[in-house]
Structure 1
Amino acid sequence: MKTVYHCLVISLLVFTAYSCNKQLDALPKNAKVDANTIIDAGTAQIALNGAYYNFANATLTKTGWQMHQIIPAELAGYMGYGNGGFGAAYENKNTSVGANYWNESYVLLNAANGVIKGVTALADNQFPGNRKKEIIAEARFLRAYGHFRLLTFYAEWYKNDSPNGVLIRDELSELGNISKARSSVKESYDFILADLDDAIANGPATNPNVYATKWAAMALKMRVLISRGAAADYPAIIQLADNIIQQSPFVLEDNAIDLFHKNGLNSKEVMLAVKPQAAQELDAYSKSRQYWPGASSLYVAPLSLKNLLNNDPRQTWMIGTQKGTGVVESYFFTKYIAQNTIPTVVSETDYAIRLSEVYLLKAEAIVRSGGDPAAAKAIVHQIQAKAGITSTENNIPYLEVENATGANNLLMAIYKETVKTLVAEDGMEWLALLRLPYATVQQLKPTIISQTLYILPVPADEFRYNPSFGNQNPGYEKF
């Protein structure tokens, strides 16, 4: 796939804007709308819908979120390709995966910047109430999401003093501003957090859960802070979690299985989701069919995920029958669609942020800040209870958490629960793995022989079309 700048050169000031109604499944009236077409509150909303359309990585027939589920899970060792073997993309320094996230993110950033530019230029009195600030806040949330995805896959996010940060795009791309150097990691974090602080301060408190709110911005800020991992970040994470848990309208799903197999977008736990396109479940190559029974591709759970879920009630509905033995033993992955069923709107729904993540990040922050281990364990037990794991059963998963002694052992227990809870959603299992001590990462994934394998190489086309970019990521100089 060519770098995003091919698209930018062709389209210049254009960015995608879809639907007059606030829904992703409406067909576009005009696929090319530049910032100058934002002339009032109505056209501003159309443009914002276009940015969300890019967030969903959508086409007219379906959304394209599945790579958010598969690639990180594969890298962490908990998913694989069922029709030809496993093997994480950049453990072998294969760049084929790399351009997907890169292009997707920069298309999203361009759309968000178009909204910000166009709406900022309008007078406040052209919008009802605080809607002007809210639209800009939602666009800045999307921009923060895009930059953070780039940071965690293409920059040394785990080294705050590294010069190898993100190529920040803070304005609508034109021929004259394409050439630009990447920022440092510190500058990248600062820019992302500034966007999120605006989204928290000015974002809507209520919104359909396929659109951002100030609560979703708080949760995303927690992700960013736990990745940066400065001493002052952990108390901030705990405070953000308490704010969400105590004041937001979101509550944990009573039975974890119901979220994925029954309720979908109707679940009160879902803070931000990707709604499938109209009739997406009927598509012969829909996401669900890539899990069961297999269409053009089949993505499966390896033995490692099945073993992690041993003695856990979630194994019964997340792991299906054995797919085959061969070189790698694998099983149907049934988190989204049960075997012997057909795709539905619920099975096609994807989840960007859920309240369970807020709880687990709070528990991790408590441990990393030297807080009360019992408090962290109690939080993890709350998540386990929603999966059917309680102390009265005296079962193994509960005791693994309860009996963990010392910060490192408790962090390992939280990591395992994070995988069980959030595997194949939006890369949280991968980032949770990489937050562990490097020696532990190597024990869990021996193929990660260097921290350079924490990230992807910058696509080669970037250097061809943007000579100002700077250095390639360490370890990938040949690309």
Structure 2
Amino acid sequence: MLKIYTSLTFSLAIILSSCDLVKDLDDYSPKYSVDAEFAIHDQTSAEQALTGVYAGWAQSSKLTGMPDIMIIPSLLGITASQGEAGESRFLALNKPNKEMKSIEGGYLSLYSIINRANWVIEKVSLLSGDKFSNPKRKREILGEAKTMRALAHFYLLRLWGQYYDTSSKYGIVITLEPTRTKDAKARSTVEETYQAILNDLNDAIIEAPILRKKIFANQTFAKSLKAKVLLYKGSFSEASQTAKEVIDHASENFGLLNDFQSLFDLTTPDVFDNKEALFCAYGDKIHGLGLSAYWLGSFCSISNRYQELAKNGGAIINDQVIKYDSTRISFISPNSEINTNNKYQRAPYEIAYHMRMAEIYLIFAEANARTHKKTYQDALWALNLIRKRAGAHSVRSDGFNTYPSDISNKKLLEAIRIEKMMELGTENGESWFDLVRYAYIDGGFESGFKVYDEKSAAINPDKYILPIPEESVKSGNQTVIQNPSY
């Protein structure tokens, strides 16, 4: 295991873009580089190049994009409060601007991952089968690279594109080939962006390995990510079906852990291969992810609002008061200065879940409830399964209990949104994206469920997504159109 993680870090020095070409944000060139036109020539070099793709998820230095993109959504939402960094104050006030280094770094980092993946896909596709010790490894490498490209495009879409509206022209710049020229590309529509992501995932579900390690892409993660993308796209029936396939057909290597606490046992490297992980990033004290430092107040901390919801919040369902949480609140440690996030501790190891199985159950719950508005017992089953794992009781009384079978569809959907916040809170800012999606689905941003009813500072829907960094807009001679209100 040590060899795997050491090589992952070493590959940060491997660059998979042409260093003398494009210099704008979409075509990032690190300091130390080799020409990718010639670098990938056999299985060994292909594996090294693929490892370089995964290395893109690690932190290189402060405000360079990682872990900023995993935390910015929490600041926009209600789970995080501002930290010492000046930019965090404006993000918490829902006032991002196009000069922010954290935003620029996130945009740059994701396109760097995509460009690295593009080099792997192009060059490995050209290699003959006899260059590999096992013929199927060529296909697996392609599947892993396509999964990472899809994931990076998806993160770009939900941070910088109007992901909630498939009719919008404000998608992102889709990059499916290595960059060789300075010519800027225009943004694709949201619908086109979703289709490009799904095309990669459909390939990856077939091509990616069944499982190597959870720090590498696999078929189950590719299908899980597809379910999530379909949910965001609004294809609820297909999302429900895809998520259920993951649940029903997952091998013994994938499933819910018996207890929530084990997900964040950062004293052992075994945490990176726990069965609930679908795909995660590795960190240790030498090569960290930056999450613990960021959440200890340098960039953010747990908000008082989130702590209060987890500790005392609840829903009234037919005269029954059901608490939102009881046990997971222990991962928030309040003190006189900041509320500490114990998911990201200064421990021997540091983990960032890009997805885990609990999220698949909750994706299924929402998609199923939106598909079957009158018969949604399957959705209720999935929701209550996650609550039971957290310690909820199946009794008809007040307290931290499961939701009853006579809950309305509207209240069930709200219960699912809150449950995702309790279960996945501060993991990639999922609750912020849910808040925006729910509001848009419920008749748009100015009717029904409203974002600003939950976050009073979030009054401008244009600021629900981030600005394209100014340098990227300028360098492309306005080919890349800026988001509205920026």
Shorter-chain TM-score bucket reads 0.7 to 0.9
Deviation (angstroms), 1:92: 1.8
Identify if the C-alpha distance between structure 1 residues 173 and 90 changes in structure 2 by more than 3 Å, giving closer, same or farther.
Answer: farther
Between 268-277 and 312-321, report the one with greater CA deviation.
Answer: 312-321
Using the alignment, how far apart are the partners of 1:122 and 1:378 within structure 2?
Answer: 48
Q: Which residue of 2 aligns with 1:3?
A: none
Which ranges of structure 1 fall in alignment gaps of 5 or more residues? 1-18, 325-329, 338-342
Using the alignment, how far apart are the partners of 2:386 and 2:6 within structure 1?
Answer: 33
Equivalent of residue 274 in structure 2, options 249, 267, 270:
267
Using the alignment, how far apart are the partners of 1:276 and 1:356 within structure 2?
Answer: 22
Using the alignment, how far apart are the partners of 1:427 and 1:129 within structure 2?
Answer: 39
Using the alignment, how far apart are the partners of 1:68 and 1:402 within structure 2?
Answer: 37
Using the alignment, how far apart are the partners of 1:20 and 1:73 within structure 2?
Answer: 31
Using the alignment, how far apart are the partners of 2:273 and 2:396 within structure 1?
Answer: 30
Equivalent of residue 331 in structure 1, options 339, 346, 351:
339
Equivalent of residue 257 in structure 2, options 241, 247, 253:
253
Q: Which residue of 1 aligns with 2:9?
A: 25
Using the alignment, how far apart are the partners of 2:406 and 2:476 within structure 1?
Answer: 50
The answer as to 2:166 corresponding to 1:156 is: no
Give the aligned residue type for 1:385.
K
Q: Secondary structure at the match of 1:417?
A: helix
Percent identity between the two aligned chains: 28
Count of aligned residue pairs for this structure pair: 435
Give the aligned residue type for 2:60.
T
Using the alignment, how far apart are the partners of 2:459 and 2:348 within structure 1?
Answer: 41
Using the alignment, how far apart are the partners of 1:35 and 1:48 within structure 2?
Answer: 15
Preserved contact between residue 167 and residue 180 of structure 1 (Cα < 8 Å): yes
Identify if the C-alpha distance between structure 1 residues 65 and 125 changes in structure 2 by more than 3 Å, giving closer, same or farther.
Answer: same
Which ranges of structure 2 fall in alignment gaps of 5 or more residues? 15-31, 312-322, 440-444
Using the alignment, how far apart are the partners of 1:100 and 1:47 within structure 2?
Answer: 22
Written as runs of structure 1 = structure 2, the 5 A alignment for 1:283-302 is: 287-292=291-296, 297=298, 299-302=300-303
Q: Which residue of 2 aligns with 1:223?
A: 228
Q: Which residue of 2 aligns with 1:340?
A: none
Identify if the C-alpha distance between structure 1 residues 155 and 274 changes in structure 2 by more than 3 Å, giving closer, same or farther.
Answer: same
The answer as to 2:178 corresponding to 1:172 is: yes
C-alpha distance after superposition, 1:87-107 (max 9, x if no partner): 535722433142122111111
Preserved contact between residue 93 and residue 458 of structure 2 (Cα < 8 Å): no
Q: Which residue of 1 aligns with 2:283?
A: 276
Give the aligned residue type for 2:233.
R
Q: Which residue of 1 aligns with 2:124?
A: 119
Deviation (angstroms), 1:227: 0.9
Identify if the C-alpha distance between structure 1 residues 148 and 322 changes in structure 2 by more than 3 Å, giving closer, same or farther.
Answer: same
Q: Secondary structure at the match of 2:473?
A: helix
Deviation (angstroms), 1:442: 2.6
Deviation (angstroms), 1:357: 0.6
The answer as to 2:286 corresponding to 1:307 is: no
Preserved contact between residue 60 and residue 66 of structure 2 (Cα < 8 Å): no
Identify if the C-alpha distance between structure 1 residues 452 and 291 changes in structure 2 by more than 3 Å, giving closer, same or farther.
Answer: closer
The answer as to 2:390 corresponding to 1:387 is: yes
Deviation (angstroms), 1:413: 0.7
Using the alignment, how far apart are the partners of 2:93 and 2:111 within structure 1?
Answer: 21
Written as runs of structure 1 = structure 2, the 5 A alignment for 1:49-448 is: 49-54=51-56, 56-59=57-60, 65-83=66-84, 86-88=89-91, 91-95=94-98, 96=100, 97-127=102-132, 128-176=134-182, 178-229=183-234, 233-248=235-250, 249-261=253-265, 264-277=271-284, 279-280=286-287, 287-292=291-296, 297=298, 299-310=300-311, 312-324=325-337, 331-337=339-345, 343-346=346-349, 348-371=350-373, 372-392=375-395, 394-398=397-401, 401-402=403-404, 405-437=407-439, 438=445, 439-440=448-449, 441-448=451-458
Preserved contact between residue 235 and residue 369 of structure 1 (Cα < 8 Å): yes
RMSD: 2.7
Using the alignment, how far apart are the partners of 2:126 and 2:343 within structure 1?
Answer: 45
Preserved contact between residue 147 and residue 204 of structure 2 (Cα < 8 Å): yes
Deviation (angstroms), 1:57: 3.3
State the TM-score, normalized to the length of structure 1.
0.84
Between 208-217 and 31-40, report the one with greater CA deviation.
Answer: 31-40
State the TM-score, normalized to the length of structure 2.
0.82
